[in-house]
Chain A
Amino acid sequence: MSPFLFWIFALLMLVFGAAVVINRNPVASALSLVVSFLGLAALFMSLDAYFIGIIQVLVYAGAVMVLFLFIIMLLDLRAEEERRINWVASVGGIAVALILLIQILLVIGHFKAARQTFPPLAGSTIDDVRNVGALLFSNYNLPFQIIGVLVLVATIGVVLLSRRDPR
């Protein structure tokens, strides 16, 4: 993909990422986060990682954020819009963010691999899903199974907690 498209999507992601924080309306923030996720998905796809890109849209933009939006709308948060901006907190937050940015830049600057061009990966003809599956079920089989058990426990926990009649 051309650098032109990279800059468009990177800018899109950053602008809407900032909009998540700046917007006072929670619904607007949630929607900005969705656009930011879409930009991120586009960047993944530009690296020929179609699977990760699509899962980004499917899981985060399509499922998690819909639930977020749902809750925000049901709660109807009006108080947030009327709250005044706390300037001390804002300046402090911006300063912390700047320090983090400088740190990251320094670390990347000293990291040798970041300054050389990577050899091109195998073409986009290979099947991402097959590769991801093969890795999950061979190299990372145990962590995968543990996560499966964890999710099962969480599901059972939710069912138990949402029961109406406590025993």
Chain B
Amino acid sequence: MTYFFITSLLKIVGILFVVILPMVSYSVYAERRVSAFIQDRQGPNRVGPAGLFQPIADMFKLLLKEDFTPRNVNTFYYWLAPCLAVMPAIITIAVVPFGSTLFGVPMVIADINVGILYVFAIASLGVYGIVLAGWASNSKYPFLGGVRSSSQMISYELSLGLAVIPIFLLVGSLRLTSVVRYQIEHGWFIAPFIGDWMNPWKWLLAIPMVLSFVVFAIAIFAETNRLPFDLPEAEQELAGGYNTEYSSMKFALFFLGEYAAMITGSAIMVTLFFGGWHLPLPSWHGGFHWALVDGSAPGWRGVIGGLFNIATFFAKVAVVIFVFMWVRWTLPRFRYDQLMRLGWLFFFEIALVNIFIVAGIIAFLPS
């Protein structure tokens, strides 16, 4: 019991302070560098080598700015909203398996049997921060931003939830570690035919799976309020959106919350579709085959394997985050009615039909 307590505490502290929070601040830096690269500019490159200390400078700037509370706001909720915006994104990471095992300890903070439902439940609480910020600011543009945001999140949560059902039809469990296990044995969900090229059923399965991935990815974009769906903070229309009245560290918390949500969304996407921490390595010991590296080997090999899995997972997450940024700086923003139409008239139906297709395939699939 004490051992479980200590290892859990170490995992929480390690994943939160060593990985997620630095990743949040550096994804802000990466966003600026990537946008600069795409627009043929330089980006922040003054503080430290290649501008690498920019996040620290940004943090000091935001901390030292005057923290101004406007007179007519509803003070308690005005202060509460930034905290509510940043918390859900961070606690969602608790159920994501970010590695195999290290020293025999499974690398997931809470391996509960309703993992993905937990993710959706906590993500659905994220809307409170934004709605409250919009309402408590007592000002029209933030309020419009808050209203937009909540209707957007509610609309896209449906397609998000429906898009992952095909995966759980295949896996037969909502536990995220089981999803990773299944993908190690049967191929990643984004390309189920890998390693089983001769099986036509796997090729057939790839069609609904890719469809499911596309719906899920687009719904994550809408859920995290990223461009092309950043209607809640459309600067040209809403003067900044729900965070207009916020300054200094409270504004920074909204900012951090958005990036943390993006990181968690990418982590969920990697776990569900890209095999989680799994990366097959080619091996020539006794003929060519794909070797599975994990933390189960004895001695230092297991430790190296476990660390390798963790590195693999976060490398995949970083690639997905890069795609998020790439999309942001490539596509223009949707109009609000288009966004709603897209969610309700297309993605919802596609995801729904997709479930039936996968169920049909499973019914005839020779196991």
Contacts and interface: CB of A to CB of B under 8 A. Distances in A.
Nearest to B173: A127
Given A27-B77, A57-B121, A58-B121, A128 B127 contact: no
Interface in A22-80: 27, 31, 34, 50-51, 54-55, 57-58, 61-63, 66-67, 69-70, 73-74
A129 interface: yes
B249 to A, nearest CB: 23
B124 A127 contact: no
Contact of A51 (B117, B135, B157): B117
Contacts, number: 70
Given A54-B118, A127-B175, 5 more contacts: A31-B132, A51-B117, A66-B127, A67-B154, A73-B143
A129 B174 contact: yes
- Interface centre among A34, A54, A128, A130, by most B CB within 10 Å? A54
Contacts of B127: 62, 66
A109 to B, nearest CB: 35
B112 to A, nearest CB: 5
- Interface centre among A34, A61, A62, A73, by most B CB within 10 Å? A62
A58 B124 contact: yes
B114 A54 contact: yes
A69 B131 contact: yes
Interface string B91-124: 0000000000000000000001110011011101
Given A50-B112, A54-B114, A128-B113, A66 B128 contact: yes
A129 B114 contact: yes
Interface residues of B, number: 27
A70 B155 CA distance: 14
Could you tell me the dominant secondary structure of chain A's interface residues?
Answer: helix
A27 B135 contact: yes
Contact of B114 (A62, A74, A128): A128
A34 B114 CA distance: 21
Interface string B145-181: 0110011001001000000000000001111000000
Contacts of B150: 66, 70
Contact of A66 (B114, B131, B143, B175): B131
Contacts of B124: 57-58, 61-63, 66
A58 B120 contact: yes
A63 B128 CA distance: 11
Contacts of B113: 50-51, 124-129
B162 to A, nearest CB: 14
A15 to B, nearest CB: 17
Nearest to A50: B114
A51 to B, nearest CB: 5
Given A55-B117, A58-B120, A70 B131 contact: yes
A63 B143 CA distance: 19
A135 B341 CA distance: 37
A51 B174 CA distance: 10
Pairs A-B, 5 closest by C-beta atoms: A62-B124, A58-B121, A57-B121, A54-B117, A50-B114
Interface residues of A, number: 25
Nearest to B126: A62
A54 B121 contact: yes
B174 A34 contact: no
A63 B154 contact: yes
A73 B131 contact: yes
Contacts of B147: 70, 73-74
A61 B124 CA distance: 8
A57 B154 contact: no
Interface in B63-106: 77
B125 interface: yes
Nearest to B122: A57
- Interface centre among A58, A73, A127, by most B CB within 10 Å? A58
A34 B117 contact: no
Contacts of A74: 147
Interface string A78-114: 0000000000000000000000000000000000000
Interface in B201-251: none
7 contacts: A27-B77, A61-B124, A62-B120, A63-B157, A66-B124, A129-B113, A129-B114
A129 B169 CA distance: 12
Contacts of B112: 50
B341 to A, nearest CB: 16
A73 B151 CA distance: 13
Contacts of B122: 57
Given A55-B117, A70-B147, A127-B113, A62 B135 contact: no
- Interface centre among B117, B146, B154, B175, by most A CB within 10 Å? B117
Contacts of A27: 77, 135
A57 B125 contact: yes
B83 to A, nearest CB: 13
A52 B71 CA distance: 43
